[in-house]
Amino acid sequence: MSEKVIRELVRQNPGQATFEEYKLVYDVVVARAPCNLLVFGVGRDSALWLTANQDGRTVFLEDVAEWAGFARNEVPGIDVREVRYGTLRIFWHLLKYAPSTLMMNDLPDDVATAGWDVILVDAPRGTRWYRPGRMKSIYTASVLGRRAGADVLVHDCHRRVEREASDRFLGADRCVDHAGSMRHYALR
Ligand SMILES: C[S@@+](CC[C@H](N)C(=O)[O-])C[C@H]1O[C@@H](n2cnc3c(N)ncnc32)[C@H](O)[C@@H]1O
C-alpha cells in the first residue's frame, strides 16, 4: 500500500525526492511510530509523513509563507510553524568557523524543548547561491536530535553545504544508510 502511495507522489511531484529516497524516510518513521517527528519543509509529501506517523506528533517548520499556506490548504489540521533562516548558501565558512551561530534560537518553546525521535531535513532551499541552504536546519537538527537519540534524515547531500554540514554536525560515523542523496544518521 505505502509503495503505491509513494509511487503516485513521485509521479505528481517531479523534481523532488525519488521513490527510493521517500521509501527510506517512510520506513524509518514507521519503525518508530507513533513518535515525535520534526520535518524541515512542507510540500506535496507532507501528508505522507502524517500517514507514516499515525497517532504520533508531527510538526513541520517552513520558511516560505506560500508553501506554509499550501500545506495548510492541502492537509487540514497540519501543524506548520513558520521560521526564518537568514543565511545564504554561500555562507559555507560558518560551518567551520562559527557553528554555534547556526542554532535556530527563535523556535517555538514546544519545538525547542521536545524530544524528537525522527527529524527529516528537506528545507530550506539550497539550489542557488542566494537560497538559505541547510546549514542552520542541519545544525539545529543535530542539537535537537541528540536529546532523544533521533534518527535524522537529510536530503540533497549531493550538495556541498548539506554534505559537509551533515558529516560535521551529525557525525560521518553516524551515517548508517543512504538512498540517492538522502542520508540517514542515527544519533544513538
Ligand atoms: C526540497 S523542497 C521540499 C520538498 C518536499 N519535501 C517534497 O518532497 O515535496 C524545500 C522547500 O521548497 C519549497 N517547496 C516545497 N515543495 C516544492 C516543490 N514541489 N517545488 C519547489 N519548491 C517546493 C518549500 O519552501 C520547501 O520548504
Instruction: Report the domain count for the chain.
Output: 1
Ligand 1 centroid, distance to 72 Cα (angstroms): 14
Q: For residue 60, report the distance from its CA to the centre of ligand 1, in Å.
A: 12
- CATH number of the domain within which 68 lies: 3.40.50.150
Query: The C-alpha cell of 144 is what?
Result: 535537537
Residue of 12, 46, 122 with the most ligand 1 atoms within 8 Å of its CB, for mutation: 122
CA of 42 relative to ligand 1 center, distance in Å:
6
Residue 175's domain comprises 2-186
Q: Can you tell me the distance from the alpha carbon of 20 to that of 32, in angstroms, rounded to the nearest whole number? A: 19
d(CA 43, ligand 1 centre) in Å: 5
Ligand 1 pocket residues where CB is under 6 Å: 13, 16-17, 41-45, 62, 64, 67, 122-125
What is the rounded CA–CA span in Å between residue 92 and residue 123?
16
Question: Residue whose CA is closest, atom 12 of ligand 1?
Answer: 125
184 C-alpha vs ligand 1 centroid, how far in Å? Answer: 19
Name which residue sits closest to atom 4 of ligand 1, judged by CA. 43
Query: Which ligand 1 atom lies nearest to the CA of residue 44?
Result: 9
Q: Which triple of cell numbers denotes residue 123?
A: 528545507
- Strands lying side by side in the sheet with 57-62: 80-82, 57-62, 36-40, 118-121, 151-154, 182-186, 175-179
The pTM of the whole model exceeds 0.95: yes
Encode the chain (188 residues) as per-residue pLDDT tens digits: 689 999 999 999 999 999 999 999 999 999 999 999 999 999 999 999 999 999 999 999 999 999 999 999 999 999 999 999 999 999 989 999 999 999 999 999 999 999 999 999 999 999 999 999 999 999 999 999 999 999 999 999 999 999 999 999 999 999 999 999 999 999 98
Alpha carbon separation from 127 to 50, 114, 166 (Å, rounded): 26, 30, 17
Do residues 37 and 120 make contact, with C-beta atoms less than 8 angstroms apart? yes
